[in-house]
Structure 1
Amino acid sequence: MKKLVSILSLLTIVLTSCSGSDDSGEQVELLNFPRKTIDYYQDSGSTIGSRTGTFQYNGDKLNEIFYNAAQKKVFTYTGDLITKVEFYEASVVRYIENFNYSNGKLSSYDKFDLLTNRNESIAYTHQSDGTVTYQKLIYSTSVSNPTETITGTLFFQNGNLVKDDYVYTFNNSSTNEINYVERLFQYDSKINPYKNIKGFSLLLPWVNEMNINNLILDYSYVDAFMNGVLFSSYVVAKEFDLQYDERQFPIRFDYYTNEDLGGNTLYLTRITNVEY
């Protein structure tokens, strides 16, 4: 288990990462594509399950991630852009993700859960200062009446998403709950193993895969208001400890979080090994 880092320390880290130069260009051409990932799910220090994903490519385009006879993720490209991802469970499509683009940049994203009918839709606007503003609508049962609305701004530095400021509104007339969130990210100096897969750098909803470097801290600072009164402030923390091979490619990610239990203690919940 681990302890939360302080807010001041994280802000210092993020600001430091923003001011550095991007010297990753020389490493990009050396990076091999991931061929296999093995996730080991953890509980109280013990492995309680695992899942292996095998990657299939056509050149630098990812065709499929095969997990087992009943589970896989299938990618559809239009030209060099990923436009659809389908995730199969029990050999039938469970989730569909659609990506739409304008002038080579992601303009909208939709995710459909065909089992529960929970859908989400995000519209992106790319600003002249390099930021991206967005509105996300979440529908629990009906596509005509969103139950949750998120509006925010994404900030980037050296090819990495470093901050996401957003307002999270629950459309419940009895509580009028609104959350104000500042989400901060920190990265290592090594190349993300997904970086050279065609189209991945444009997938804004895929935080772990779309950045140039590897995510090591993901902290969300939340102020929750009900009927205009602050009733809770808390931190949702995610941390990744990485190991590298002799070429400095990441080969293991240990994932710690307090997301389910809250508090200041982060628990190891997943270990991911990567093979190239």
Structure 2
Amino acid sequence: MTQFDELGRMYDDSAELPWRKHMEMFTVLKLMGDLTDAAVLDIGCGSGAYARAIRARGAKRVLALDESEGMIAHALARERDERLGIEYLCGPLPEAERGRFDIVLAVYVLPYATTVEQLSAMCQSAFTALRPGGRFITLVLHPHSTDEPDYYRRYGFRLFSDHPEVDGAPVTLELQLGDHRVTVSARYWTPHTVEEAMRTAGFRTAVWHRHDVDPDAVAEHGEEYWRPYLDRPHAAIIECGKAGDAKAATAPGGPEVTG
């Protein structure tokens, strides 16, 4: 059993939080671009929120993986009701599926590596799953986040750590949804270590993208609602490509690069 097994419904609800729906998911889906006829692998799919959004944007095939039996059971229950044509599997990518995907997405997966070896293995798994020219898009803890516990409270979560920002430092995220609260443990990895793991796996230069906000959401909530997060985001969005893709290799690495 993992720390996520009983959190499926809460993770569905978290996808409706303004910062996730109108900023994080908005940015990630825009970065993914036209998904018509694309084959997409969602690693660490959780409750399936991204998998469903990707399928709705026209992806020909969506395969979603998670190590949590509870998360996959929840996602499969929704799939039985909604019949979107998404495939869900509990566990690692089957060997027969290697090299078959145009995009691999891993949202908040790398932060759960507890060693450099695990971090590198995660990047290697994404690389192996991609076709030549494919792209890997992932979210990690941002080096410019803040450890002030209440800084992100307005967005529905708290982030705190008693450790310096060094490789493998434990970080706690506390998510608040109505009367429900869940605590998730993760790890911080420096940009150098993340990029080295990607290079070792075979990826080209990593591009760090800043978050965008849906203009309609800016109009609804006001610019000042979004400003604290944009100034000190807790997550960084990284894109890198497998050989044959020029798009993800045109900008230098580092957390200052914008999309």
Q: With structure 2 as the length reference, what TM-score do the two structures score?
A: 0.30
Larger helix share, 1 or 2: 2
Larger strand share, 1 or 2: 1
